[in-house]
Amino acid sequence: MIKQSFRLVRVKLLRCVSLATCSQAIYALLGCLLIGSFSSSLRADENTSPPVPAEVQDLRYGVILYHFFQQSYFEALTESMVGESRQDMPFHQQSAKLLRGGMSLSYGMSRQAEAIFTELIDILPEQVRRDQAWFYLTKMDYLRGNNAKAKSTLLNIQGPLPTALEQEAIYLKANLLLASGDLEAAAATIASLPETSPWLAYYYFNLGSKQSLSGQWQQGVNSFLHIDQLVLSGEEGKSLRDRAYTAAGFSYLKGGEYQLAITNFLKVRLDSPMVDRAMLGYGWAAAQQGDFELALKPWQALAQRSVVEPSVQEGLLAIPYAYEKLDARGRALQQYQYAITAYEQGMDKLAEAIVIFRDLPLIDLVSDDSASLGEDWIMGGDNLPINEQAPYLTHLIAQNYFQSAVKGLSDLLRMQVYLSEANDRLAAMQGVLEIQQRVWRENLNQSQRQHFRQQYNNLLAVQENLEQQQIAALDDNDARRFANKDELVLWQLVDHATSMLEQLKANGADISDEQEQLRLYRGLLYWQASEQWSARRWQYKKQLVELEQLLSETKQHLQRLETLDENRYNDQFALRIEHKKQRLDTQQQQVTQLIQRSEAEIRQLAIDELSHQRQRLSYYLGQAKLAVARLYDAGNAESLP
């Protein structure tokens, strides 16, 4: 039973009950739209099938989508904000922001979503995207019940929107017109939806409800039964049909068409959550025809069900009423007493549940362990510590305000986990930073850096000297400047011999032969040097270029070392870590306080609900006891037929 309620909750969440309705299905579609596949064939009921992938042009945006498609909104939102901070999504910047607005809404941050959409309207260059932003703003206003603002916001959509959104926009418009009482305009608006649109069933249901509540029973029935003609699939479709049959049955009942009411009540599936109400209505329709024996059949079947259901509670009173009408007052008395017992037991259990709820830690209500609270957060309560009391809360769980409160607690618990992980990450970073700083201190102190810088400067001086030599060689065309080591030795020998010959000549010696030999030898050396000059000059130049490259790389390494070193010793990282630690501590305190407040609120909501149910049972109990007294007053109990 509790699972059925949860399932209904999920069905409602997927449609337009609360802000969370803009969740996975619609945003999956939004995601596909944002990466470019504006396929006209897309329909809302195709939301869950993977769209044709389009290649993203910014890796960061692809990573956002990766998290988004897994409904990991926290990670996707973080990545999106990192991208915005780094400005590394030049191609998808606006799409990312639009997606962030959608995800913020999905993640229960409607205020942030509204701020993003409002900002985007001024900066989005494409009308179709501005229209999407207007659409979501409209939807937020509508879901907040601000119909007047929703109406005016809707007018900004120039359209057409992508197909699925367009259909929802039409549905919203028709609903707004319905709410303002303009049924004719609403009908004209909804007429533009294709017969296959999933929104039609919701529109006709709302229309039927409005008509029936205003006493237009037949029109209401027509609207409810129109749903039967629509193409509806899956459990959600079946559930909608059951609701429509039940509503049509009650409308017929009020309109005095009892047989038609029965026909519709009988169409409700036996395993439907609606079956209790349908059986109750079936009984009343039969009773209104005066066929109390027939009325007893569904009511007796209903009485076998749990007394926590309001329909069952009412059915317990209806059975003896029918027996009274059949003039079986003894049986009626017996059934009233049975009802009294059932009501009293129910009240005792409710009292017990109220006591339990006063002290129950509610964290387990939303999670069976501290692990993931993903998409199925509300199903996490399979191991509810309140299993026995859970059926009493079915009605409460189906209420939007309760869902919002539980979702809030669930989100807070998730935040607590994130903050705990952030604490670990900060501690790890602090550890790494300490190690890095120690290594730097041990391996690269100030004097070492200066030594490296000095070595580099010396090398620069050598390079400059070599370049000067090259320039001089080109200027004086001295072949000896590019001589190799062996040749330099020979040149030194020639110079030495020349000097010796000069001395001998000064002493009067005849050195003409030696001078001639030396001249020839010098000429030979010049000739050899000239032959090699061009090749050696090129080689020399090449080596200088290579040297320059090496020195350039050395300079970069040196600069990087100095920058890194500077950062380490400036302690910027340490300061940033400390700052984040302070923020983290504050947020951890906030989340703890909010969890306590949220738990208290949920507990109070549950207790109020249980108390309300107890009051209702108390009312039925009073009615049953009065009936018993009335029967006793009418005659001797033993003599009752």
Partner 1 sequence: MPTRITICAILLWLAQSLAIAQPPQAVTPEAEGQAAKSLDEQVQDLKQQVIELNRDLFILEEELLFPANTQLAVFVSMNVGEFFQLDAVQLKLDDQVVTNYLYTDKQIDALHRGGVQRLYLGNMKTGQHELVAVFTGRGPRGREYKRGATLLFDKTSQAKKVELKIVDSTATAQPEFLVKQW
Site for partner 1 in 234-263 (CB under 8 A): 243, 246-247, 250-251, 253-254
The dihedral of CA 33, 34, 37, 40: what is its sign?
Answer: positive
Please, which of residues 128-157 interact with partner 1 by CB under 8 A?
142-145
How many alpha carbons fall within 13 Å on the CB side of residue 84? 14
Q: Which of these, 113, 115, 159, lies nearest to 21 by C-alpha position?
A: 113
The CA distance from 235 to 12, in Å, is: 12
- Please state the closest distance from residue 500 (CB atom) to partner 1, in A: 57
User: Do 48 and 28 meet the contact criterion of CB atoms below 8 Å apart?
Assistant: yes
Judged by CB under 8 A, the residue of 23, 67, 190, 631 near partner 1 is: 67
Distance in angstroms (rounded) separating the CA atoms of residues 85 and 95: 15
Q: Which is nearer to partner 1, 64 or 350 (CB)?
A: 64
**Closest separation in Å from C-beta 385 to partner 1:** 23
501 scored as a contact of partner 1 (CB under 8 A) = no
Q: Which of 3, 438, 453, 583 binds partner 1 (CB under 8 A)?
A: 583
Tell me whether residue 125 or residue 145 sits nearer to partner 1 (CB atom). Answer: 145
Whether 621 and 347 have beta carbons less than 8 Å apart is answered as yes
> 496 or 560: whose CB is closer to partner 1?
560
- Whole-angstrom CA distances from 121 to 118, 125, 178, 568, 616 are 5, 9, 28, 44, 50
d(CA 383, CA 368): 6
Question: Which residue stretch of 77-85, 298-306, 347-355, 532-540 sits at the interface with partner 1 (rule: CB under 8 A)?
Answer: 77-85
Place of tokens 């000069």: 502
Question: By CB under 8 A, is residue 51 in contact with partner 1?
Answer: yes
| Residue 464: HSE in the Cβ half-sphere, 13 Å Cα cutoff | 6
Q: Which stretch binds partner 1 (CB under 8 A): 118-126, 345-353, 385-393, 579-587?
A: 579-587
Q: Find how far residue 414's CA is from the centre of its chain.
A: 13
- Closest contact distance (angstroms) between CB of 535 and partner 1 is 32
Residues 2 to 31: which contact partner 1 by CB under 8 A? 12, 15-18, 28, 31
Please select the residue that binds partner 1; options are 5, 175, 367, 389, rule is CB under 8 A. 175
SS3 category, 445 = coil
CA dist 98 and 114 (Å) reads: 11
Q: Does 412 bind partner 1 (CB under 8 A)?
A: yes
Alpha-carbon separation of residue 218 from 213, 249, 282 (angstroms): 11, 11, 18
For partner 1, the closer of residues 483 and 631 by Cβ is: 631
Q: Choose the stretch contacting partner 1; rule: CB under 8 A; options: 124-132, 301-309, 524-532, 591-599.
A: 591-599
Nearer to partner 1, 209 or 515 (CB): 209
Interface with partner 1, residue 33, by CB under 8 A: no
Residue placing its CB nearer to partner 1 in the complex, 120 or 409: 409
Q: Do 180 and 189 form a contact (C-beta atoms < 8 A)? A: no
Binding mask 440-459 vs partner 1 (x if CB under 8 A, - otherwise)? --------------------
**How far, in Å, CA of 342 to CA of 620, rounded?**
10
Assign residue 477 a region: left if phi > 0, alpha if psi is -120 to 50, beta otherwise? left
Window contacting partner 1 (CB under 8 A); options: 428-436, 450-458, 503-511, 533-541? 428-436
Q: Is 415 in the site for partner 1 (CB under 8 A)?
A: yes
Give min distance, CB of 14 to partner 1, in A: 12
Q: Which of 35, 190, 260, 621 binds partner 1 (CB under 8 A)?
A: 35
Crossing angle of helices 147-154 and 127-143, in 10° steps, is: 170
Q: What angle do CA 408, 411, 415 make, to 5 degrees?
A: 135
Please give the angle made by the CA atoms of 515, 518 and 524, to the nearest 5 degrees.
145
Residues 319-358 binding partner 1 (CB under 8 A) are 321
Which positions from 463 through 492 interact with partner 1, judged by CB under 8 A? none
Q: Judged by CB under 8 A, which of 187, 202, 363, 536 binds partner 1? A: 202
* Shortest Å, Cβ 458 to partner 1: 24
Q: How far apart are CB 400 and partner 1 at their closest, in Å? A: 3
Per the listing, tokens 């992938």 go with: 53
Q: Which window, 418-426, 493-501, 526-534, 540-548, contacts partner 1 (CB under 8 A)? A: 418-426
Given the rule CB under 8 A, which of 395-403, 457-465, 471-479, 531-539 is the region that contacts partner 1?
395-403
What is the per-residue burial (b if ≥16 Cβ within 10 Å, else e) of 95-134?
Answer: bbbbbbbbbbbbbbbbebbbebbeebbeebeeeebbbbbb
Within residues 622-641, the interface with partner 1 by CB under 8 A covers: 623
198 lies in the site for partner 1, by CB under 8 A: no
Nearer to partner 1, 324 or 481 (CB): 324
Q: Which is nearer to partner 1, 161 or 207 (CB)?
A: 207
The least distance separating partner 1 from the CB of residue 204, rounded to whole angstroms, comes to: 10
The number of residues that bind partner 1 (CB under 8 A) is 105
Are 593 and 412 within 8 A, CB to CB? no
Binder to partner 1 among 101, 102, 108, 198 (CB under 8 A)?
A: 108
Q: Which is nearer to partner 1, 351 or 432 (CB)?
A: 432
Cα separation, 543 vs 554, in Å, equals 16
Closest separation in Å from C-beta 183 to partner 1: 14
Residue 317 makes contact with partner 1 by CB under 8 A: yes
According to DSSP, residue 39 is labeled: -
With CB under 8 A as the contact rule, the residue among 46, 66, 505, 640 that binds partner 1 is: 66
Q: Tell the smallest beta-carbon distance from residue 267 to partner 1 (Å).
A: 16
Region from 200-208, 262-270, 352-360, 506-514 binding partner 1, contact rule CB under 8 A: 200-208
Query: For residues 401 and 569, which CB has a smaller minimum distance to partner 1 in the complex?
Result: 401
Element of type H or E holding 605:
helix 572-634
Q: How far is the CB of 220 from partner 1 (least distance, A)?
A: 8
What number of other Cβ atoms are within 10 A of residue 493's Cβ?
A: 13
The answer to whether the beta carbons of residues 186 and 223 sit under 8 Å apart is: no
Q: Is 39 in the site for partner 1 (CB under 8 A)?
A: no
C-alpha radius of gyration, the chain, whole number: 44
Report whether 18 contacts 106 (CB < 8 A): no
By the rule CB under 8 A, 425 interacts with partner 1 = yes
The torsion angles phi and psi of 440, rounded to 5 degrees, stand at: -65, -40
Q: Does 540 bind partner 1 (CB under 8 A)?
A: no
